[in-house]
Structure 1
Amino acid sequence: MWKIRSQPSRVAPASRPQGVVGQAKHRLFSPFQRFPPRHLWVQGGLLAGVGVLLGLSLAPAPTGWMAWGAIAPLWTSTVAVPTRKQAAFLGGCWGIGYHGAALFWLFGLHPLTWLGMPWVASLTVTTLAWGVATLWGACLPMVWAASLRWIGPALGNFSRIAIGTALWCGLEWLWSLSPLWWTDIANSQSPHNTSILHLSQLSGPIAITLALASVNGAVAEAWLSRQRKFLGVAIALCLAFHGLGWKLAQAPLASQPAERLSIGMIQGNIPTRFKLSSAGIDQSIETYRQGYETLAAQKVDAVLLPEGALPWLWGQSFGQERALVAAVRAAKVPLWAGTFVPKGEGYTQSLLSLGASGEVLSQYDKAKLVPLGEYLPFESVLAPILRRLSPLRMGMVAGSSHQVFETPFGRAIVGICYDSVFPELFRAQAAAGGQFILSIANNDPYSDRMMAQHHALDVMRAIESDRWLVRVTNTGLSATIDPRGRTLWKSAIDEHVTHVAAIERRRTQTLYVRFGNWMLPAIVFGSIGIAWKMRIDA
């Protein structure tokens, strides 16, 4: 390990102790070093416990501070174990603990007996969904740990911090391109740590991940080397990132009366298991028609309905549509309605913009569909198996990742439920001229924990794009969020609610909106440059 040797050695390379493993006995320490390799399962269990604690720190818990040290135990163990396979095993244990705890709300799907599914089959499908999501998320720290164990021993302490941070950031970006994603570590800071969340205005969530991973790396190197300077580096980095975020959060929100909008919001609170029946359809149209008329009488500029509020294929249920369109024509207040729209042999989950005359002005189709819930990945392989367990209807079609949503008040940014996980969808719409965000979701039958995590995602989307955000859900949490990430109003869950949100249109462009995720290549190439220079200088 060339960086930390006090004097250059003239011993032939073949006889030198190689890297961290060869010198760990004398120079390096790990919190779990007391457990010999044959007790690897003990280390894995401890790391799984650390991951569980971090997973439980996500919203609504105000304990996101744990993320500033929760990766460090994995880091130290990864560097200290003898082989890459052992490192990958430890990374998997940590990842299963973190993602499994964070995604445990998926069991809210059970029981699915209302779909005609037997109780045991329902539990099987729900467990499968949770297991697949957990294991896919756990693959990320597995790959990271194996990679760091492979590269790390040849690096000095500072080089290892740079490379380890770049690896984590790059892998999170890669995983976010997959159809199955939710729990990047940046989520742990939302919605409570708004100072650090403002780093996302620079380069999206990757800027927050950079802050968390680098601080964890410095803490880990302090353990490994028993050198206090690295603890000082960790503290300095943490303070610097918070200071920069706080500075970004202090930018004033100039009020412009000409840009104000009042948006009526209706949280219908109609359970999905009932909504899809004929009685549920009748209740839906009555609930939302009455809510629309009440809000229109309050002179709002527009009314927003949640995802799937009108549970039929638009254009194929004329009785219900006529009643709603007639109400819009009478009140002459634009309506943004979540419904389903036929497309080819399938249909889309959509938000329609109805003008004052009841005509459809614009349409946004949900771009990110939920695997196993709204479509079957690898359908030719999985469909014959899952259809024996589930009456899942096929045919939902994903919308394009490059859409615009026109309204009578200018272009809006739209996200439908799972879209909120993917910041690039919102960034692209903001760059294309979107002036405010409309986020709609169902969120039934999930628990308040899932609702809080989904709300936290929308807080991040509002900050990144510097836009006001109105989120309306079927069962909660509906909310109004300002561009600084402050929740100005939030509904109760499992209640029928109408509310008027006061927002403003904005045309600003953050660095992230303008240049996208520019920080990632800078991190990767910069860390490689640092490591190469330190190796040459050693």
Structure 2
Amino acid sequence: MGDDRRLRVITALAGALAGLSLAPLGLPPLLWLALVPLWGATPAAAGLWGGAAVLVSHRWLLWLHPLDWIGVPAPLSLPICLALWLACGLAGGGLVAIWGWLVRRLDPRRLATALLASGLWGLAEVLLAAGPLFWIGLGASPLPADRALAGLAAVGGSGLVAAVQLLIGWFCWRTLVAPAVSRRGWVLGLAALLLFSHGLGWSQLRADRVERGESFRVMVLQPALPTREKFEPERQRNLLMQIARGRQQAAALGVPLLLPEGTLVLGQAMPEAEAEVLSGGFRLEGEELRSSVLRFEPSSSEASSWVDKARVVPLGEWVPLARFWRWGGLSAVGGVEPGPPARLLRRSGADPAVAICYELANGEGLREATAAGAGWLMASANLDPYPALLRDQFTALAQLRAIEVGRWLVSTANTGPSLVIDAQGVVRAALPAGRAELGLFELEWLKRATTYQIWREAPLILMILLGGASWWFWFQRRRHGHSH
């Protein structure tokens, strides 16, 4: 095997290791090791790294099969799922190949290149998370094992966490490829970066920084209804019975709010009781079908307010120009249109910022909602029929979002994870996955703003500007030196 081919194989295996380093492991040292060959890779090898990382981290996509419940013929189901999985890997590989080309052009040995390229990677994750195709990146890789490093999200968001991971990987690479005479300096630089990043992250999570807010209780209903049967009449009746019992029990215990992961069909009335309900469901906006979290006031059977899902699943919920094609997409509920980007749900008590399904991957909407007054976060998702791998990734993202904006988060999920996470990213309570459960959670309504909530990606952009300016001054000095 030639040297180039051997390096490509090693780089691809490193990418697979990067995919494994994400939740449920969430073990950053594995990622730092995986990043070492990426910094010295050719663009083609970098593309293999990115493709392998995405294919391993997103292997839960294969659990979409079989798709017969949404009308896809059995012989086509597995090929469609495989094609979707491979397309995600190809897209990830293409993006990392472009990044690798830029690094190679700018000289990967220079610290200026490392700062610029790491910052651009982090910013790319932030921008991609606002689109329809992104799920999880290096920004969530420290969780659940390294909460101190994840604390950097309170300073500059998940993009800064991703960028610092890349920078740590670069120092590891420089330590290995540097001449023996200068290796000690690179080791000291790596140690300084590790101490600084973990110290800064942990400073955001220290006990003496913890804000004490007004506590309140919520009741969470985890219905555990199989997705492939969820819209059958019998299953819908079962869901309404669970909600009715949960609403009555919440009222009897004096709990003001019931949170069921219930996908109410269009126009479905809510069983009446004293407790307020925030439930998943569908509604019409003109002629457009929206997937929403609906708010039912105490003793009301009709929704009075809502937050619509703004980030809808391509093909699964939404198809471009669906009206002209007269095709409602692959969703069992037909074509769903995206709603407004605002995530703040106004109610009589503490207002939540709402993330529906994989909107949890995008922190910007929740940041805007907390800046507008949201005192806690609510994540509503149906993760059936996916494996535990996706549930663990969902939990890691929920922890990251809580740390970013310094708010408690309640997750209400069909089959789990239904849990409550505090503002420091600690899972305080959870319901057993895969079972119908009714749980009572206590959380706090907070107001303190994190640095990220105020400055957004400013630290990340500062890193990019610092790297770009340093590289430019070095280039100009070198050019003028040659001219003389």
- Counterpart CA distance in 2 for 1:238 and 1:50 is 21
Q: Secondary structure at the match of 2:107?
A: helix
Mapping of 1:336-347 within 5 angstroms? 336-347=278-289
Letter of the aligned partner of 1:313 in structure 2?
L
Q: Which residue in the other structure is 2:69 paired with?
A: 114
Aligned to 2:444: 504
Could you tell me how far 1:170 is from its partner in structure 2? Answer: 3.4
Letter in 1 for 2:47: G
Once the two structures are superposed, the pairs formed by residues 168-183 of structure 1 within 5 Å of their partners are 168-183=121-136
The answer for the alignment partner of 2:317 in structure 1 is 374
Instruction: Report the CA distance between 1:159 and its aligned residue.
Output: 2.3
CA distance in 2, matches of 1:340, 1:201: 34
Distance across 1 between alignment mates of 2:280 and 2:157: 28
Deviation of 1:499 after TM superposition, in Å, equals 0.7
Alignment partner, residue 482 of structure 2: none
Instruction: Pick closer, same or farther for the CA change 1:533–1:254 going to 2, 3 Å.
Output: same
CA separation of 1:144 and 1:252: change in aligned 2, threshold 3 A: same
User: Do residues 265 (structure 1) and 220 (structure 2) align?
Assistant: yes
1:409 aligns with 2:349: yes
**Counterpart in 1 of 2:32?**
68
**Cα distance in 1, alignment partners of residues 318 and 303 from structure 2:** 27
Whether the 8 Å contact between 1:343 and 1:397 is mirrored in structure 2 is no
Other-structure match for 1:57: 21
**Alignment partner, residue 447 of structure 1:** 387
Distance across 1 between alignment mates of 2:285 and 2:52 = 40
Match of 2:196 among 215, 234, 240: 240
Q: Identify the residue that residue 117 of structure 2 maps to in structure 1.
A: 164
Aligned Cα root-mean-square deviation (Å): 2.2
2:186 maps to 230
Distance 1:129 1:346 in 2: 27
Partner of 1:5: none
Name the residue aligned to 1:253.
Answer: 210
Give percent identity, aligned residues only: 26
Secondary structure of 1:296 counterpart: helix
Amino acid at match of 1:523: M
> Paired residue for 2:374?
434
User: What is the Cα deviation at residue 42 of structure 1?
Assistant: 2.9
CA contact (8 A) 2:216 2:442 kept: yes
3-state SS in 2 of match to 1:128? helix
Instruction: Work out whether residues 212 and 446 of structure 2, in 8 Å CA contact, stay in contact via their aligned partners in 1.
Output: no
Judged with a 3 Å threshold, the aligned counterparts in structure 2 of structure 1 residues 88 and 239 are, in CA distance, closer, same or farther, namely same
Shift of 1:51: 1.2
Closer, same or farther: CA 141–491 of 1 in aligned 2, 3 Å: same
Q: What SS is found at the alignment partner of 2:195?
A: helix
Give per-residue Cα distances to partners, 1:461-515, cap 9 Å, x unaligned. Answer: 1111100111010001111100000001122211011111101111111111112
Mark the structure with the bigger radius of gyration.
1
**Over residues 25-50 of structure 1, what are the superposed CA-to-partner deviations in whole Å (9 max), with x where a residue is unaligned?**
xxxxxxxxxx75xx533322221111
Report the TM-score when normalising by structure 1: 0.83
8 Å CA contact 2:113–2:468 kept in 1: the answer is no
Q: CA deviation at 1:403?
A: 4.2
Q: How many correspondences in the alignment?
A: 473
Report what 2:12 is aligned to. Answer: 48
| Partner secondary structure for residue 432 of structure 2 | coil
Match status 1:420 vs 2:366: no
Corresponding residue SS for 1:368? coil
Kindly indicate whether the alpha-carbon contact (under 8 Å) linking 2:416 and 2:432 is maintained by their aligned counterparts in 1. Answer: yes
Q: Which deviates more, 190-199 or 415-424?
A: 190-199
Superposed CA deviations along residues 316-354 of structure 1, whole A, max 9, x for unmatched, are x4xxx1xx342x2xxx21111111111233311111111
CA pair 196-381 structure 1, distance change in 2 beyond 3 A:
farther
* Pair 325,288 (structure 1): closer, same or farther in 2 beyond 3 Å: closer
Deviation at 1:536, TM superposition (A): 4.5
Distance 2:24 2:251 in 1: 33
Please show how residues 19-38 of structure 1 align to structure 2 within 5 Å. 36=2
Residues 339-358 of structure 1 mapped to structure 2, 5 A cutoff: 339-358=281-300
2:134 partner letter: W
Shift of 1:192: 2.4
Give the deviation of 1:188 after TM superposition: 1.0
**Shift of residue 383 of structure 1?**
8.8
Residues 70-109 of structure 1 aligned to structure 2 (within 5 Å): 70-76=34-40, 78=41, 87-109=42-64
Q: Check 1:281–1:119 CA distance in 2 against 1; reply closer, same or farther (3 A cut).
A: same
1:517 to partner: Cα distance: 1.5
> Residues of 2 paired with 1:414 and 1:335: CA distance?
14
Whole-angstrom CA distance in 1 between matches of 2:96 and 2:77: 30
Q: Is the 8 A contact 1:200 1:464 kept in 2?
A: yes
Q: 1:486 to 1:311 in 2, by over 3 A?
A: same
Question: Which whole-Å CA distance do the structure 1 matches of 2:220 and 2:444 have between them?
Answer: 16
- Residue 346 of structure 2 aligns to a residue in which SS? strand
Provide the C-alpha distance between the structure 2 equivalents of 1:414 and 1:488, rounded to a whole number of angstroms.
Answer: 19
- Residues 275 and 311, structure 1, Cα contact 8 Å, conserved in 2: no
The answer to whether the Cα contact below 8 Å between 2:317 and 2:334 also exists between their aligned partners in 1 is yes
Alpha-carbon shift at residue 198 of structure 1 (Å): 1.1
Contact 1:361/1:406 (8 A) holds in 2 = no
Q: CA deviation at 1:382?
A: 9.7
Query: 1:199 matched to which residue of 2?
Result: 152
Q: Kindly tell me: are residues 383 and 102 of structure 1, through their superposed partners in 2, closer, same or farther at Cα, counting changes over 3 Å? A: farther
For 1:498, give the aligned amino acid.
L
Output the CA distance in 2 between the equivalents of 1:368 and 1:498.
28
Q: TM-score, normalised by structure 2?
A: 0.92
